[in-house]
Structure 1
Amino acid sequence: MQPGVLLLLLLMSYMGVPLLAHKLEVNHEKAIVALNSLLLESTRTVPANPSVHIALRLSEKHNLQEEQTYLRRLKTDLRSLLSRSEQGSRPFTGLVALHLLALRVSCQDLQEKRQALLYLKNKLSAERNHTIYHQVPLTNYYQYSLGVLALCVNDIRIDHSVLSGLVPHDHHQHHHHHHSVDTLAAAVLALKCMRESTVPGRDVWMYSTERRLKAQQAINKLMEKIRRRWTSNGDVGNIYSTPLALQALLATGDTKRWLKGKINLLNKSKQGAFQNPMALSQLLPVLYRKTYLDIGQMDCRSESDELRRVDLEPLEPELSSQPEFVYVSVKERNLATTYTARVPLINQMSLLKVLQAASKNDSNFNFKTEQTLWGPFLSSVNHVPGQDDARTYWRLSSGAHTSLIEGIQDYLPQPGEHILLQLSSF
């Protein structure tokens, strides 16, 4: 081959790469903005979700008026949450933490946040004391980490005993072994925030060198575990824990894994994996190359105001001539099947709709749900509730083996599928 031709081929291949990369970027950008609009659309639903607000605020395009309206709703919810907590109901560590992150990402002043900050400081002390006596926090390590992160991005100095509860000590190492990916990631973000904290208005570190070193060692250990769960297609854990894991990878400078994960998640979202507003709210920041650590740097000035809602075309229901069925069974802890039903599947019914149809057709079947940020959660079946103190919950699976990772409102059963509701231990 002549040298000239070779040179030309080389040049063409070089020129092709940035062009292709640019084309991909433009397509990605369109896809990301579409997801952003979809999330904005979800703000019409109740209850308001602080995680959704955080994602809208961390994105590059805004609808400032809608965000303001949503923030007002969140403040109302937070006030009633804090007054409920005074009546001694269960701890809301994670939820109040998300609300505080939402207030900081909207640049609200300390006065606005005072009561919530006090609540969270007290709850984190309670979480820590519970860990000392019972080896587990009052809620769980995920909420504990979110709590530390929320105080940290709001420039509140955190008591060292609370911090040491987040750093895995070698003698109770086994507690951190079986943590889920999103728990590991939340702990990484909390520790990283604390390690980089400076005293407001001064150029000095907030924590001692020794404390910052301990945090860094803990981050390294936790990241090792996250990387062990990394698969070559870009998933970490399952698809819904991946976005937080990517935040941890991004925060610790692993941009190579972050980019691979981002492309994987974009493809999954095109296949409709992120319809749930909570899941979408965890996905969006990391697509914009943002993490929850960026919340502490927000100054809320000169933001674009160009994001609009998507007007989604209503899908024409396809009428199938033949009714198709889905089967539902209930199993006790001793594995005895106590109930089975065949439910006609009409159009695209969610699992929630299927369960509602089953209980309408048959007085022997009933269930209860609890509202969570992820949507309705199956809390009780046939008068048997899942109980935290007994460490039981209703596990959902398709067939005998495949656990469902979506909630009952998001999961769409297929014709002929067998859905199993089983009381299980955690």
Structure 2
Amino acid sequence: MAFIRCNYLHLIITIPISLMAEGCQATVAHDHLVRELLQRMEKSVKPDEPPNPSILLAMNLAGATQGHVHRWLLQEIKKSAVERAQTVALYILALLSSCQDPRRVHALEQTLDLIPILKHKMTEEISNNGTQGHERRTGGTGGVSPSLHPISSPLLDPTDTQAMAVLALVCAYNHTDGQDLIHDALKAVTNYFLDEQKGHGIIGDIYSMGLALQALETSGEFYAPRKWDRAQAFSVVYAHDYQQPMAMAQVLPALVGRSYLDECPRANSSRLQHSGDIRAAITVQFSITNTLKNYFHYSTWVCVPDNSTLLDVMQVARNEKPDIFCFKIKWTHLGPFVTSIHGLAGNKTERTYWQFFSCWSPLQEGVGTYKPKNWEHTQAVFSTY
């Protein structure tokens, strides 16, 4: 299944009350938007229309896997994959996010392996693009041909193509030995991507924002130390009234801190469920922020069994994205104490430590005892005392 993958002390509060209120309001608005997009996507699913694997993929990444619409979509996508095997790459992503093996897709009393079909289609596209590229380069148009533009295609929106290229390269970087070359390519592509950012947070156009946000959220290490205004970019998404199902399906993963590189997002939560202790799953947002030195901010959504502790949430986030949400703890008589997150440890001389919040309210319990609620935003902020 690896084919596509790619506070125990209440110290001085240094965050202004107004910022806390704004943070809570933003979290409420964010949660409302996620629910609204999920509802709109479900309503867009029609039994008399072909199933859209992008919608199934977005529902899986957002953790909306319990309804009849999700069950119907999964079954119909299996049937479509067996019958037609079109847009096979998207089908494979949707199936992987549903914890289904694309090598053994069973429907209509048949079992199909989609991987050889994908390889065949990739070979065809590479061959066709080579021929078309030659015709465009020799067509007497003058100047630089679109085929020579970095990671673009004249048949697709350049921003969408570029974003998918970034996701593909990150996937390859995580699953190959030749990382130096890929690192250089990603640095070039992501910086070019940021150069193309328009004013007011727009990247490409409003319908490209979903893939663009996914790409930039998963590739931060490659354009660092350069920064992009993620808050402004997300504010554009919050302000837009999305109605087109495909656009909603592309932007929703970014809103819940995921991307098309997240394979089988429910797998980690299921591993936390012991035999005889099956509990309803909840979705929790977990963020880490450091503004004191070498700024970074990352956020993700994870599924955990109800009644899980914040430490459980952190462990699932680490399992899903170990390069980002790695952490260290030491055990004390009060329980586990977080000493380091993302390679950044607290320091007694500098009086720094990791402080934990729920919607900007500092936690009064430790990570080993605090139990977040469904859709709660929990945060670890590198702070001073």
TM-score, normalised relative to structure 1:
0.50
**Structure 2 residue aligned with 1:281:** 249
Equivalence map 1:226-375=2 (5 Å): 226-253=193-220, 257-269=229-241, 274-295=242-263, 298-299=266-267, 301-302=269-270
**Structure 2 residue aligned with 1:411:** none
Aligned partners of 1:19, 1:175: CA distance in 2, in Å? 43
Over 3 Å counting, the alpha-carbon distance change for 1:133 and 1:33 in structure 2 is same
- Is 1:111 matched up with 2:89? no
Over 3 Å counting, the alpha-carbon distance change for 1:62 and 1:111 in structure 2 is closer
Equivalence map 1:9-20=2 (5 Å): 14-20=16-22
Please report how far the alpha carbon of residue 268 of structure 1 lies from its aligned counterpart in structure 2 after TM superposition: 0.8
Over 3 Å counting, the alpha-carbon distance change for 1:193 and 1:239 in structure 2 is same
- Is 1:29 matched up with 2:2? no
Larger helix proportion, structure 1 or 2?
Answer: 1
Over 3 Å counting, the alpha-carbon distance change for 1:175 and 1:26 in structure 2 is closer
Greater relative CO, 1 or 2 (CA 8 Å, sep 6+): 2
**Structure 2 residue aligned with 1:126:** 124
**Structure 2 residue aligned with 1:66:** 69
**Structure 1 residue aligned with 2:92:** 100
**Structure 2 residue aligned with 1:47:** 50
SS state of the match for residue 241, structure 1?
helix
Residue identity in the other structure for 1:98: L
Give the greater-gyration-radius structure (CA).
Answer: 1
Aligned partners of 2:41, 2:55: CA distance in 1, in Å? 7
Q: 2:82, 2:112 within 8 Å by CA — same for their partners in 1?
A: no
Aligned partners of 1:24, 1:132: CA distance in 2, in Å? 47
**Structure 2 residue aligned with 1:38:** 40
Aligned partners of 1:136, 1:64: CA distance in 2, in Å? 49
**Structure 1 residue aligned with 2:360:** none
Aligned partners of 1:177, 1:187: CA distance in 2, in Å? 9
Q: CA RMSD, aligned part only?
A: 3.0
Aligned partners of 1:53, 1:136: CA distance in 2, in Å? 37
Q: 2:210, 2:251 within 8 Å by CA — same for their partners in 1?
A: yes
SS state of the match for residue 206, structure 2?
coil
Aligned partners of 2:42, 2:29: CA distance in 1, in Å? 20
| Count of residues in Structure 1 that have an aligned counterpart in Structure 2 | 238
Over 3 Å counting, the alpha-carbon distance change for 1:217 and 1:296 in structure 2 is farther
Over 3 Å counting, the alpha-carbon distance change for 1:195 and 1:182 in structure 2 is same
Residue identity in the other structure for 2:79: T
Q: Deviations over 1:150-188 (max 9, x none)?
A: xxxxxxxxxxxxxxxxxxxxxx74464676101000000
Q: 1:63, 1:306 within 8 Å by CA — same for their partners in 2?
A: no
> Which residues of structure 2 form unaligned runs of 5+?
1-11, 106-110, 136-146, 271-278, 284-385
Aligned partners of 1:119, 1:290: CA distance in 2, in Å? 27
Aligned partners of 1:133, 1:224: CA distance in 2, in Å? 29
Residue identity in the other structure for 1:280: M
Q: Deviations over 1:99-150 (max 9, x none)?
A: 010110011123228532111111112222334444379xxxxxxxxxxxxx
TM-score, normalised relative to structure 2:
0.55
SS state of the match for residue 198, structure 2?
coil
Q: 1:247, 1:290 within 8 Å by CA — same for their partners in 2?
A: yes
Aligned partners of 2:113, 2:67: CA distance in 1, in Å? 26
